[in-house]
């Protein structure tokens, strides 16, 4: 029988678990099946992926990794499903199989993530893959299958199937989830319905702390009030403000950290460096094969920087500029009023070049980088609190 058998050790029996001390959530207990995934080179790779990519070059404390974030989501996912079981277990039919599945989904949701946070996926691959759609959620699913097959992990087939469905539950694949199977469980790790999930619970608090910012969002308050109604996880109406703080804290992180002008300048420079290095290092050729993709991590930067190969000179020079703080210059920004968004199209370098006046210097398109950033409450112009 696979590792997700219903006679798994109970939540309170930690004799067979490994204790890890986390600086956000305290003690985290890894059960035997989860440890089989953690103790693989594919999962350990997450130690070498900084959660916020190159942000540490502006916020020095932002050096935490996808590894600790994944352990944090694992811990919160387990805590969430156990609290629901304690309140409504008899009516919802939650069993150990469900608990193990949700915990695995939390643990493995980022195992297919690319290096340098979302820059690799949204900037580098977007520019170099010529229209090929690639998402880390899909790679996580493929990486999970690779780990199970390569390391011969004994796991219940249904547990594995549902855990992978939970990983991609916030994407359009949400309709592929198992039918008639406790849909509320899919709200826990990656909530495609309203965006309230333990993934955000962890990274909002963890990122805020690492960057030295305050965070008014209270995880414990929401964890304590979650209830299942109509096969969906719901919260008390008096927790409206707490939920609003969740989304507003996320938006504040985007404004002050993730899209900080210096952070964006460094990211744009490094994307240019990666593009110049790609033909030689063959980075983009490894994005479809989990057996090769897991070998890509943040060490790419140092590989380029210390190389003496002539083929990497242009890429190396850009990294040297970053080190010497000779960054692309931030010129201006424009905030589009909400009532104009519907008729507003993304600005391109061509638009900037065409609108320049007669001056001493004439810009070309390759001289201009434009970032069109949309910061909202995860649901565009809709209010997620309505769901």
Residue 87 DSSP SS3: helix
Tell me the C-alpha to C-alpha distance, in Å, between residue 194 and each of 101, 181, 328, 385: 21, 19, 37, 7
Pairwise CA distance, residues 247 & 186, whole Å: 20
Tell me the C-alpha to C-alpha distance, in Å, between residue 150 and each of 103, 146, 279, 291: 21, 6, 29, 9
Q: Write out the DSSP string of 106-135.
A: HHHTTTTPPSTTTHIIIIIHHHHSTT----
Convert 314-374 into a string of H (helix), E (strand) and C (coil): HHHHHHHHHHCCCCCCCCCCCCCCHHHHHHCCCCCHHHHHHCCCCCCCCCCHHHCCCCCCC
Pairwise CA distance, residues 386 & 194, whole Å: 8
Nearest to 184 by CA among 229, 220, 237: 229
Are 155 and 4 a contacting pair, CB within 8 Å? yes
Catalytic entry in 136, 146, 183, 260: 136
Residue identified by tokens 């210097």 is: 361
- Give the number of residues written for the chain: 387
Instruction: Name the DSSP class of 299.
Output: T
Give the containing element (helix H, strand E) for 229: strand 227-229
Residue identified by tokens 């035997």 is: 32
Pairwise CA distance, residues 90 & 51, whole Å: 38
Catalytic residue flag (residue 260): no
Are 251 and 245 a contacting pair, CB within 8 Å? no
Are 7 and 96 a contacting pair, CB within 8 Å? yes
Residues noted as catalytic? 136
């Amino acid at each position: 029988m696979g590792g997700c058998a219903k006679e798994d050790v109970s939540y309170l029996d930690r004799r067979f678990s490994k204790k890890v001390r986390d600086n956000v959530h305290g003690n985290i207990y890894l059960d035997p099946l989860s440890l089989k995934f953690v103790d693989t080179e594919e999962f350990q790779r997450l130690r070498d992926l900084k959660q916020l990519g190159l942000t540490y070059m502006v916020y020095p404390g932002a050096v935490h990794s996808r590894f600790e974030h994944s352990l944090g989501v694992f811990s919160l996912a387990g805590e969430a499903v156990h609290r629901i079981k304690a309140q409504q277990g008899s009516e919802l039919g939650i069993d150990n199989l469900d608990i193990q599945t949700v915990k695995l989904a939390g643990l493995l949701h980022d195992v297919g993530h690319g290096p340098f946070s979302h820059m690799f996926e949204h900037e580098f691959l977007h520019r170099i893959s010529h229209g090929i759609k690639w998402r880390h959620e899909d790679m996580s699913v493929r990486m999970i299958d690779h780990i199970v097959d390569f390391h011969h992990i004994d796991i219940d087939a249904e547990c594995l199937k549902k855990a992978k469905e939970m990983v991609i539950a916030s994407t359009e694949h949400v309709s592929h989830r198992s039918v008639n199977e406790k849909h509320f469980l899919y709200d826990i790790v990656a909530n495609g319905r309203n965006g309230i999930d333990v993934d955000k619970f962890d990274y909002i608090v963890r990122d805020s702390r690492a960057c030295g910012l305050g965070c008014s969002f209270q995880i414990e308050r929401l964890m304590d009030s979650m209830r299942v109604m109509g096969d969906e996880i719901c919260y008390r109406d008096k927790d409206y403000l707490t939920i609003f703080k969740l989304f507003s804290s996320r938006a504040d992180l985007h404004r002050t950290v993730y899209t900080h002008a210096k952070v964006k300048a460094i990211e744009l420079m490094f994307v240019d460096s990666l593009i110049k290095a790609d033909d030689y290092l063959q980075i983009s050729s490894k994005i479809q094969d989990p057996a090769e993709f897991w070998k890509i991590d943040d060490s790419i930067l140092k590989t380029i920087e210390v190389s003496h190969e002539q083929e990497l000179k242009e890429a190396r020079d850009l990294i040297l500029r970053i080190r010497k703080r000779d960054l692309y210059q931030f010129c201006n920004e424009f905030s589009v009023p909400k009532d104009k968004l519907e008729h507003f199209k993304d600005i391109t370098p061509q638009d900037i070049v065409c609108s320049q006046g007669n001056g001493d210097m004439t810009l070309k398109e390759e001289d201009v980088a434009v970032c069109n950033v949309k910061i909202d409450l995860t649901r565009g112009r809709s209010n997620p609190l309505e769901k």
